[in-house]
């Protein structure tokens, strides 16, 4: 179990950060002060007050669907940990290298990086697992991993690599990188009851679609109607504002389309067991829909 870090929550400490523009080696503070390593060690979440570093203001917030692209900074610390300007700690994030598609799970334990507007600072061990270095472009997406993976990260132990992000999707994400700082992948996307991953997933569908002349030469396959769902599980790959893009994604995934308000949901299933749904989820995520989720229909 790692030694607990001290949270810089007071205004005086934050003012000191603003004045110096630096925070040690880039990993400024950490939050989990609980000596136990059970689930309770991740609570309560610490958000913190707004602060400024070198004239740049940051407002920490508990954003559940956080999903941004930006650049890495180097940091210190043990295990697979990171520092972030606004996410609460502890938080868990998937970090994807936009050079290789490699994706790791890391634990946010600190404020930072305190000497740059880069998106994330990673400890040396996390950098090594990701196969990255400072200035590497990355995608950072907040996730809710199983307790066993949380426990390993709390003990400074790595968890297995996530499934690599397909390079077609990596190219889509790279086009969204700003020259400096970071950019949200959800800008302009409304937030209905179901998760919406249109910003990335729709672009991915466009990248992987067949050329227009090929698509026009072949008859469009009939879209099977969505089956009536009574009980079990379904996998939602994405929700689209475009019916055409939803149809294309459903055809590629072997799924169905159902309309919810002005959105078109692409789902696979239903499945009788959770294991069947998990297998489908893995296939859907491998196709580039990393925001896919399992829903119970019972």
Sorted by sequence, the CB contacts under 8 Å of residue 36 that are 6+ apart come out as none
Sorted by sequence, the CB contacts under 8 Å of residue 196 that are 6+ apart come out as 186, 189, 190, 238, 239, 263
Distance CA(36)–CA(151), nearest Å, equals: 10
Closest residue by Cα to residue 90 from 33, 22, 158: 33
Distance CA(144)–CA(246), nearest Å, equals: 26
Cis, bond preceding 90 (omega within 30 deg of 0): yes
Cβ atoms of 185 and 176 within 8 Å: the answer is yes
Cross-strand partners of 105? 94
Phi, psi of 253 (to 5 degrees): -95, -5
Distance CA(194)–CA(128), nearest Å, equals: 35
- Pair of tokens at residue 181: 């700082």
Q: What is the pLDDT along the chain (298 residues), one digit of tens a residue?
A: 443 333 333 333 333 343 333 333 444 444 443 446 788 899 999 999 999 888 889 999 999 889 999 999 988 889 999 999 999 999 999 999 999 999 999 999 999 998 888 999 999 999 999 999 999 999 999 999 999 999 999 999 999 999 888 888 898 899 999 998 899 987 444 433 333 344 455 555 544 444 433 333 344 455 555 444 455 888 888 888 888 888 888 888 888 998 877 788 889 988 888 888 887 888 787 777 877 888 887 5
Q: At how many degrees (to 10) do helices 198-208 and 243-253 cross? A: 70
Residue ranges and CATH numbers for the domains of the chain are 11-184 (2.40.40.10), 198-296 (3.30.70.1070)
SS3 (DSSP) at 224: coil
Q: How many C-beta neighbours within 10 Å does residue 184 have?
A: 16
Distance CA(73)–CA(82), nearest Å, equals: 10
């Amino acid at each position: 179990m790692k030694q607990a870090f001290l949270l810089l929550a007071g205004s005086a400490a934050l003012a000191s950060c603003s004045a110096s523009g630096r925070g040690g080696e880039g990993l400024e503070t950490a939050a989990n002060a609980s000596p136990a390593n059970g689930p309770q060690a991740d609570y309560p979440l610490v958000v913190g007050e707004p602060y400024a570093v070198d004239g740049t203001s940051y407002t920490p917030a508990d954003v559940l669907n956080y999903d941004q692209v930006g650049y890495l900074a180097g940091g210190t610390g043990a295990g697979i940990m990171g520092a972030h300007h606004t996410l609460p700690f502890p938080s868990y994030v998937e970090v994807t290298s936009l050079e290789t598609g490699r994706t790791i799970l890391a634990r946010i334990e600190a404020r930072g990086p305190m000497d740059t507007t880069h998106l994330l600072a990673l400890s040396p061990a996390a950098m090594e697992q990701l196969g990255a270095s400072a200035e590497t472009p990355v995608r950072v997406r907040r996730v809710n991993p199983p307790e066993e993976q949380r426990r390993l990260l709390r003990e400074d132990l790595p968890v297995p690599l996530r499934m690599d992000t397909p390079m077609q999707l990596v190219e889509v994400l790279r086009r969204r990188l700003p020259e400096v700082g970071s950019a949200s992948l959800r800008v302009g996307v409304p937030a209905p009851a179901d998760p919406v991953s249109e910003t990335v997933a729709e672009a991915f569908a466009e990248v992987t679609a067949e050329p227009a002349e090929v698509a026009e030469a072949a008859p469009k396959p009939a879209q099977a109607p969505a089956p009536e769902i009574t009980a079990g599980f379904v996998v939602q790959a994405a929700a689209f504002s475009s019916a055409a893009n939803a149809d294309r994604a459903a055809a590629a995934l072997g799924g169905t389309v159902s309309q919810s308000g002005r959105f078109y949901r692409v789902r696979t299933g239903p499945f009788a067991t959770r294991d069947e749904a998990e297998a489908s989820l893995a296939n859907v995520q491998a196709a580039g829909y990393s925001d896919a989720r399992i829903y119970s229909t019972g």
